[in-house]
A and B are shown apart, each in its own frame.
Chain A
Amino acid sequence: EQQVQQSPASLVLQEGENAELQCSFSIFTNQVQWFYQRPGGRLVSLLYNPSGTKQSGRLTSTTVIKERRSSLHISSSQITDSGTYLCAMERSGNYAQGLTFGLGTRVSVFP
């Protein structure tokens, strides 16, 4: 069973469009982190958002823990936003555990 579900699996945008990426969890978590993975594989942490709404530049994440979901909004997309966006969560527990990742949303931005 996939504990972290991401949707959509892929997304094609025209430069300047906004996008909303979704993430849902099959179990409760107290830690949600969004990453961007470059085509070459390098992982970039975008937002650490265990609850509520957080913004970083053109990115806004909203996490509703009791509903076991998180979203990432990309505003005014740019060609350089192309890549895979990964959502990850850490199971609630009494010590730091590993992150469980989703399969990702592949975003392609065209001029």
Chain B
Amino acid sequence: GPKVLQIPSHQIIDMGQMVTLNCDPVSNHLYFYWYKQILGQQMEFLVNFYNGKVMEKSKLFKDQFSVERPDGSYFTLKIQPTALEDSAVYFCASSLIWGEDEQYFGPGTRLTVL
């Protein structure tokens, strides 16, 4: 089936540094999402993105977070500066249409902030 790719699979950085997580969504999809899962805890929605704009964000999407997809390339999640509580697995997802469509998930990027 359609595949979402995420790069890197693991990232270790020092607190206060900037990190960019990359997502290569399904090629013809139009809606993009980021989710966060702290080890052993519930998967939680962060943000969704369509037509170059953030459509909805949760309270977990702090001011230090930003998303973009310049010129149809990777859909990115940038955290600047990082904090210890940002350590988690971040999953990217995409879907073709709104409201009535399956979301396809990537394998996740495990972020460790030291």
Number of interface residues of A (CB under 8 A): 25
Closest to B95 in A: A96
Q: In whole Å, how far is B112's beta carbon from the nearest beta carbon of chain A?
A: 13
Known A-B contacts A41-B89, A96-B101; the reply to A101 vs B43 at CB < 8 A is yes
Kindly identify, within residues 87 to 114 of chain B, every residue whose CB is under 8 Å from any CB belonging to chain A.
Answer: 89, 91, 93, 95, 97-105, 107-108, 110
Known A-B contacts A42-B107, A95-B55, A97-B56; the reply to A50 vs B100 at CB < 8 A is yes
A95 touches B98 (CB 8 A): yes
A95 touches B99 (CB 8 A): yes
Choose one: A48, A96, A101; the contact of B42 (CB below 8 Å).
Answer: A101
Q: In whole Å, how far is B43's beta carbon from the nearest beta carbon of chain A?
A: 4
> Hey, which chain A residues are within 8 Å of B50, CB to CB?
95-96
Choose one: B33, B100, B101, B104; the contact of A98 (CB below 8 Å).
Answer: B33
A18 within 8 A of B: no
Chain A residues near B (Cβ < 8 Å): 30-31, 33, 35, 41-43, 45, 48, 50, 86, 88, 90, 93-104
